[in-house]
Amino acid sequence: MSTYDVAIIGSGPGGYVAAIRCAQLGMKTALIEKYDTLGGTCLNVGCIPSKALLDSSEHFHNAKHNFTEHGINITGLEADINQMIARKAEVVSQTCNGIKFLMDKNNVTVYNGWGSFASKNSILIKGKDSEETIEAKNIIIATGSKPNFFPGMEPDKDRIITSTEALKMKEIPKRLLVIGGGVIGLELGSVYARLGSEVEVVEFADSIIPTMDKTLGKELTRVLKKEGFKFHMEHKVQSVVNTGKGVKLTALNKKDQEVVLEADYCLVAVGRKAYTAGLNLENAGLTANNRGQVEVNDHLQTSIPNIYAIGDVVRGAMLAHKAEEEGVYVAELIAGQKPHINYNLIPGVVYTWPEVAAVGKTEEELKAAGVEYKVGSFPIKALGRARASMDTQGLVKILADKNTDEVLGVHMIAPRAADLIMEAVVAMEYRASAEDIARICHPHPTYSEAIKEAALDATAARALHV
């Protein structure tokens, strides 16, 4: 029987990054993945394919709506969904092959098969035609998550679909219903809205992206309405049925009146749930909690000391970069180091256009905690760079401690906000004040000037360009 220092179940960004770090630290490492390709949700049916389609659809949208004003005239413009999906598949394939290359380079042994606990130190791996058991001193559970749904909205994967099917459509829906105004609903809704679908979002809460700072939800609603999105807020979905040629959704609005909506497809995007099915946790002395998650302590260690869990399968944000940080953390912990993760500084991004990005506390969280804070903000439209590129929507909002000026939260809707937010993350990691950011020279003309201006506004209401 093969014996390893560490065996990792699941090859998503949590699992494969943990494998690389374990190998770098000199540990004999095994990685077990039930699918033929490595990379998990993120690379196969998540981050990478969704961004590939977001980019393709954004090019189409710009060509259709913005090129003429730039002085570029195109005739016969058409969106070829089959080519977009084929390009996406190629991007996914190259990225997944890249992970296989990294495993080989780092001497990580990859097992393709279903992993389940035989004991607290051994894993049974069932492949297509074979089965074997391996032993490991330490085991990391990195089995990720699956799409969630509630009674009445069970996906049939034909017309009532999850993100996975939405990433491989064979046609551009004329009408698309989306249940859930969160990250997946708005990103994949954007893809099809840009390609011409009439997109209607049915959301349970009173705001889209409800867990982010409320200013962002308000601004994003305005932006997406201009793109043609329709929103049905505070609606409770009762049922969705596949009518053969389309879908029929019934919901109750906030006055408890029945609302019926029809479309070609319905995307169910109401969150994801931890995936532990078939892991036989009980053979290792573990059980999943009532949300299906593996319970861990502050060191990502389960109640069985040699077994750890990371990523979507444990508490916290379901984000690839959070899973990666946890993978590195556990590898270094097993190697005897003293790693650290600052969970307050895990940025969140929504890849609409403009993009939405945030880090640290929201205004609502600061209010609830009784923290005295001040707000600085700056509109993107006041930037020369924004006018040059015709990307004038959005804002940057900085929340700073009223007494010490320390930056506590940064929230933005801006072109390339996904990249801009890193300035805030670095500043906050080093506990910068708003004035520190305001006094740093920012290149002109850039979108980053909005961060400096918002910091100036927070420091002493002395933004320069408004």
444 is catalytic: yes
Query: Which one of 42, 270, 288, 314 is in contact with ligand NAD (CB under 6 A)?
Result: 270
Residues 256-275 close enough to bind ligand FAD by CB under 6 A: 275
Least distance from ligand FAD to the Cβ atom of residue 191, Å: 10
81-105 and 47-65 helices, crossing angle to 10°: 140
Q: What does the alpha-carbon distance between residue 237 and residue 249 come to, in Å, rounded to a whole number?
A: 7
Cβ atoms of 427 and 376 within 8 Å: the answer is no
Which of 349, 359, 408, 428 touches ligand NAD by CB under 6 A? 349
116-155: which residues touch ligand FAD (CB under 6 A)? 116, 142-145
Centroid of chain to Cα 241: 28
Nearer to ligand NAD, 12 or 379 (CB): 12
Query: Nearest distance from residue 2's CB to ligand NAD, in Å?
Result: 34
User: 86 is written with which tokens?
Assistant: 């084929």
Specify the residue for token string 């109640």.
303
Minimal distance, residue 323 CB to ligand FAD, in Å: 4
Q: Is there binding between residue 351 and ligand NAD (CB under 6 A)? A: yes
Q: Taking CB within 5 to 8 Å according to partner kind, which of ligand FAD, ligand NAD, none is near residue 269?
A: ligand NAD
Instruction: Report d(CA 428, CA 440) in Å as an integer.
Output: 14
Q: What are 251's two structure tokens?
A: 């919901």
The answer to whether 323 contacts ligand FAD (rule: CB under 6 A) is: yes
Please report the DSSP string for 324-336 in residue order: HHHHHHHHHHHTT
H-helix or E-strand spanning residue 452: helix 449-460
Instruction: State which of residues 21, 88, 159, 272 lies at the interface with ligand NAD (CB under 6 A).
Output: 272
The residue among 142 and 451 lying less far from ligand FAD, judged by its C-beta, is: 142
Decide whether 208 or 456 has the Cβ nearer to ligand FAD. 208
**Strand-pair category, 109-112 with 29-33:** parallel
DSSP 89-157: HHHHHHHHHHHHHHHHHTTPEEEESEEEEEETTEEEEE-SS-EEEEEEEEEEE---EEE---TT----S
Residue of 54, 92, 184, 421 that binds ligand FAD (CB under 6 A) = 184
In the list ligand FAD, ligand NAD, none, the entry touching 203 (Cβ below 5 to 8 angstroms by class) is: ligand NAD
The amino acid that residue 5 corresponds to is: D
Q: Choosing from 59, 65, 70, 444, which is the catalytic residue?
A: 444
Q: What is the rounded CA–CA span in Å between residue 202 and residue 34?
A: 34
Applying CB under 6 A, which part among 9-17, 255-263, 295-303, 442-450 lies near ligand FAD?
9-17
Identify the H or E element spanning 377.
strand 373-379
Tokens representing residue 343 in the block = 């969970």
Candidates 4, 8, 15, 411: give the one binding ligand FAD (CB under 6 A). 15
CB 402 within 8 A of CB 338: no
Site for ligand NAD in 208-237 (CB under 6 A): 210, 237
**Which is it for the CA torsion 101, 102, 107, 108, positive or negative?**
negative
Does position 9 interact with ligand FAD (CB under 6 A)? The reply is: yes
8 Å CB contact between 386 and 447: yes
Residue 169 touches which of ligand NAD, ligand FAD, none (CB < 5 to 8 A by kind)?
A: none
Token pair, residue 465, equals 């360009």
Pick from ligand NAD, ligand FAD, none: which does 189 bind, CB < 5 to 8 A by kind? none
Least Cα distance to 136 among 295, 294, 28, 281 occurs for 28
Q: Does 261 participate in binding ligand NAD (rule CB under 6 A)? A: no
Min dist. Cβ of residue 187 to ligand NAD (A): 6
Tell which residue, 352, 357, 437, has the closest CA to residue 391: 352
For residues 315 and 402, which CB has a smaller minimum distance to ligand FAD in the complex?
315
Q: Shortest approach of ligand NAD to residue 142 CB, angstroms?
A: 16
Q: Would you say 41 or 377 has its CB closer to ligand NAD?
A: 41
Which tokens hold the place of 289? 């909690």
Residue 41 touches which of ligand NAD, ligand FAD, none (CB < 5 to 8 A by kind)? ligand FAD
Q: Is 204 a binder of ligand NAD (CB under 6 A)?
A: yes
371 binds, among ligand NAD, ligand FAD, none (CB under 5 to 8 A by kind): none
Strand ranges (E), 208-294: 230-232, 236-242, 247-252, 258-263, 265-268, 272-274
Please list the active-site residues.
444
List contacts with ligand NAD (CB under 6 A).
150, 179-185, 187, 202-205, 210, 237, 269-272, 317-319, 349-351
List contacts with ligand FAD (CB under 6 A).
9-15, 32-35, 40-42, 46-47, 50, 114-116, 142-145, 163, 184, 275, 278-279, 311-313, 318-321, 323
